[in-house]
Amino acid sequence: MDVPSKLELLRRVPYLHSVPPTSLQALATSLRERRYQPGDVIFRQGDRSEGLGIVLRGRVRTTTTSREGRQQVLKVFGPGRTFGDIPVFDDEPQPADAMAVSESIVVFIPRRDLLDRLRQHPEAAIEVIRLFASRLRAYKQVVEDLSLRTVVARIARLLVDRARGTQTLVEESPTWSPQYTQDEIAAMVGSVREVVQRALKTLENAGLIQMARGRIQIIDVEALEGWSDWGRDG
């Protein structure tokens, strides 16, 4: 990725909003890119942090896995989004796994360099606090969904959020035509493939979505929102 493109993405990172252009230019030039293929592990739970991860291209997801091997997606990050934030501040091991969902380019800002920049530009800390608050609110919503809503309702909410760009589970640009496998959806909504398959068919039969070749076309986002609010199971 060329420096101007990298610079444009770095400008979108809350940690760097208040960094002067010359410092940001130097940072964009010095950071080493790492390239990952779909399914590549970026770090594992328990690893020491290399610093703040920033997605320059592609998609990265963080997950946790039960002893039985069942995976739960915690968050999906698109271009310009940060991940692995928590260990940067508490200096503890990574609390989750991170892997590339698609071909991805990632850079890491070393912990010491990032903290030095925040000390130099304390106004940036307000943006960081706002980011953490929004993610805490999003995690609260995910826990509520897993505890109180049916699988159909969880999927409906996921699709509504993707259509409107609400960054509850996925921090990425909005789309009315997300491309997910049923296994990916199962990991995001805390279910299994067979249940997800039936739930998607329920939404399709209701005329709310259309499925074709691994892509879900959202037809009626308003009606989908109703299903996510009611917690209907079809």
Residue range(s) defining the domain that contains residue 167: 150-230
Q: Which residue has the tokens 């739970």?
A: 45
User: Do the domain assignments include residue 141?
Assistant: no
User: What are the percentages of helix, strand and coil residues in the chain, rounded to 5?
Assistant: 45, 20, 35
Do 56 and 100 contact (CB within 8 A), yes or no? no
Whether residue 112 sits in one domain with residue 70: yes
Whether residue 29 sits in one domain with residue 100: yes
Do 75 and 130 contact (CB within 8 A), yes or no? no
Q: Which two tokens stand for residue 146?
A: 């897993």
Whether residue 166 sits in one domain with residue 105: no
- Output the pLDDT for position 232: 44
pLDDT at 125 over 80: yes
pLDDT at 145 over 60: yes
* Distance between CA atoms of residues 42 and 28, nearest Å: 21
Residues in the chain: 234
Number of domains comprising the chain: 2
Do 181 and 213 contact (CB within 8 A), yes or no? no
pLDDT at 217 over 70: yes
Helix (H), strand (E) at residue 72: strand 71-77
pLDDT tens readout for residues 180-212: 999 999 999 999 999 999 999 999 999 999 998
- Report the chain's mean pLDDT, rounded to a whole number: 91
Mean pLDDT, rounded, for 153-157? 96
